[in-house]
Amino acid sequence: MFQAPASAQTPRDRQPEFRRPRPAHGAGNGGRPRRVLAPYLPARLDRDARLREAQRLAALSVRAVLDGSTLPVALDTFAPAEREAPGRRRALVQELAYGTLRHWGTLDALVRLLATKPIAEPVLHCLVAVAIYQLERTRAPSFAIVDHAVNAAAALTRPAAKALVNALLRRFLRERDALNDAVLADPVARWSHPRWWIDRVQREYPENWQEMLAAGNARAPLALRVNRRVTTQEALLSAFGAAGLIATPAGEHGIIVEPAGPIRAMPGFDEGAFSVQDLGAQLAAPLLRILPGQRVLDACAAPGGKTTHILELADVELVALDTDAARLTRVRENLERLHLGGRQVRVVAGDAGTPAQWWAGRPFDRILADVPCTASGVVRRHPDVKWLRREADVDSFSRQQARLLDALWTCLAPGGLLLYATCSIFDAENEAQMTAFLARHPETLRETLMFPPGAACRGAQLLPSLPGASHNQDAFFYALLRKP
């Protein structure tokens, strides 16, 4: 079992002192000390080059998302982590790209207002947006942000682009307040969501639509789930404290770490003491009311967060199913790291909507149907979703969900429970989906669900949290159905 260290004191390797060279004196300098720059220039140049390159790569990543790529794929293309020594540049590129997309509605409007005519190169438009994001929401010096962006412009397109980027950013600094006031008249710029999304949330959540949209633009905390087969919440909190990490308990098995840091460097990662999982997602496995010895199906299992949670809670016979065979590799990796691979678990590639492909006919006592959806409830973690989705996707996902539900219902044993789950806030994927299913299967019983104290909800819909909430969660929908 992973245990916290006996003492909170962590020895530090003593760093060798760096002594500043003695300043030279010369007659030509009037006897004053001459500044010795040579020892410092390479480090400063390296740092400037890294920052400039981070802006360039972030702009390319944002542009790729606007052209239809997901942000993780874009980052792997332009800033693959394996090329970095400790991954420092990747972390900065990721911060700039995520932050820019989180506030893209506002930033895009500002760039359009600054430019007297559309910028010919779309990636330059993105670069200016990245720089404005830094000017507005980071502590980096304004002169450095502008200087790096100007040089990044030349590397992105052509040397002449430097003058354009310099003029736009300096105008923004001069007229910042007036420009910000001007763009906020547009709802897309005000709320940084697509217009159809804003209208839909306003219609479906008339009492708190503004809080819902604001929560989608907030930073999500780093939430971890303690592997209770390896350690305890108290022991892991103690280990984090000894390592100088600020961590607080959340729920029965959760921990919030703020500020976030490199996951693999945290105490207990290699020992399988925890997984990264949002507090809202941590509710799925307990809501299934699993008992030891039952047959359980995780119908849309990749990347394995809920699969491993089920195995941490009880000794069951589990089938982890997913259509994407490549993503099932992540499931196997997570099972191995969390020391769950030796348990009764079978990882299977197959379509949950076509049981004949993978099911031998023996029914399951519990089924988790965490179905594909718009992911509209997790945009604070995945801001690219806001700009990739189209309104027609809501109906498309709804039809797919209905197909999966009807197919999986045939695999459930009499008296068994099926937990329907989405990370969506749209009614068509959630409550309306349940209404339609119960109409098709009137014999179905819908169980009452109890959420933890402090978890904001509207019926079965968990609402996204604003920073500072006692149960800081993404938005999820859960419905527990029993087969008579």
Question: Inter-axis angle of helices 71-78 and 41-66, to 10 degrees?
Answer: 140
How far is the CA of 134 from the CAs of 4, 27, 97, 99, in angstroms? 38, 45, 11, 9
Is 423 among the residues known to form the active site?
yes
Question: Which is the catalytic residue, given 300, 411, 423, 457?
Answer: 423
Catalytic residue positions, numbered: 423
